[in-house]
Chain A
């Protein structure tokens, strides 16, 4: 029942997205704009690009991801659709998992569109042998961010101050993931000490595992009165 409901909600979100292209367009456009602004703000050259490039990539993921999160739950606010989903037999757990998967997919697709552009704009060379590590970092980081973001996004979607409150509570929690992501991206670009990457991978995997266990527990208890 739960698995089927997850699939139904996810398919619905993807279907609506294919039809309107609202979320992906706004996320990708926003991400590109952030990169362009950063490129001017830091007057990037080759040495500086290597220094701040990983940071720019992760800030972009964070902001574009937040935008995607808002859009993903805006959809459930029209016509009180969230109540409809929560009342369905599978309950809040299915809603949570479906929305996490949805956000991971949306951020990943945005990254696939935007990353080549980003690397070109910032001018960071990503060597071919660094790509697997970079991809792994992206996967772990985006999952960690989505686990926390969907919990708070879903919880606070009905409050008046959501645009302010969601970043206030999401960003402090995902700091370890951002630091880890930046460090691993640096390592993928051939920066940092050898062996250091393993520690960061462990940290990010640990984060994901902890929140994979904790967030569904909290979500199911918070969303039902």
Chain B
């Protein structure tokens, strides 16, 4: 689903990511682990399309994505959950979820919205402005996207359990397992060992921008 070959990205005098090769298959959860500054976020940026590789090849959902604008099929087929939740503080949780879902061409029925928010434990806060949410609640709101963006065949998750309590951890484990069971490819970047332990079928370690052997 996602395949990187010798993928490299430089920032000034440093390789943020160097010769990264890897395949992320359907129905598998691949974890990318590493210390701060190991190149995890760069990898996320490259796969998401926010950064352009300096060298190397990248294919996402069968399309060449190393250079040039991405076709809409890739954009809607690849779900991206960045480290910072994509949330407008002045909209309510429900409105934020509706907006994201509509941006991805999937109008949300009120039933689907309700069940998604219920699932992530935000049904009571759904009508409140997102600026009143705690960090953990914002993360839960982001997780609700996993339930509504059903067109996404591959998911890229950057630290999906940030700010969550142990219950939240359990939620992440359940949601990601469901994605895997429905045949989606999941790339999860995290430095939380417990989460990786519980979820990862494959685990890749980055060290100073390189794959550790």
Contact = CB atoms under 8 A, between A and B. Distances in A.
A161 interface: no
B88 A12 contact: yes
A75 interface: yes
A16 interface: yes
B84 A79 contact: yes
Contacts of A12: 88, 91, 99
Interface in B62-91: 69, 72, 75-76, 80, 82, 84-91
A5 interface: yes
A220 interface: yes
B5 interface: no
A20 interface: yes
Contacts of A1: 72, 105
Given A87-B50, A89-B75, A80 B84 contact: yes
B78 to A, nearest CB: 8
A85 B84 CA distance: 13
A84 interface: yes
A198 interface: no
Interface residues of A, number: 26
A80 B99 contact: no
A4 B105 CA distance: 9
B52 A225 contact: yes
Binding site secondary structure of chain A: helix
A16 B95 CA distance: 11
Contacts, number: 68
Contacts of A89: 72, 75-76, 103-105
Contacts of B52: 225
A8 B50 contact: no
Nearest to B96: A12
Given A16-B91, A19-B90, A79-B87, A8 B102 contact: yes
A93 to B, nearest CB: 10
Highest count of chain B CB atoms <10 Å: which of A5, A16, A79? A79
Contacts of B103: 5, 8, 85, 88-90
Interface string B39-55: 00000000011111000
Given A12-B99, A224-B69, A75 B88 contact: yes
A25 interface: no
A27 to B, nearest CB: 17
Interface in A80-127: 80-81, 83-91
Nearest to A7: B102
A91 B71 CA distance: 9
Nearest to B51: A225
A98 B140 CA distance: 28
Contacts of A135: none
Contacts of A225: 50-52
A20 B91 CA distance: 10
A78 interface: yes
Contacts of B100: 84
B82 A83 contact: yes
Contacts of A80: 82, 84, 86
A85 B80 CA distance: 12
A19 B92 CA distance: 11
Interface string A122-142: 000000000000000000000
A222 interface: no
Contacts of B89: 78-79
Contacts of B129: 19
18 contacts: A1-B105, A5-B103, A8-B102, A16-B90, A20-B90, A79-B86, A79-B89, A81-B88, A87-B75, A87-B80, A88-B75, A90-B72, A90-B103, A91-B69, A91-B72, A220-B69, A224-B69, A225-B51
Interface of A: 1, 4-5, 8, 12, 15-16, 19-20, 75, 78-81, 83-91, 220, 224-225
**A-B pairs, 10 with minimum CB distance:** A84-B86, A225-B52, A89-B75, A88-B103, A89-B76, A80-B84, A16-B90, A89-B72, A79-B84, A79-B87
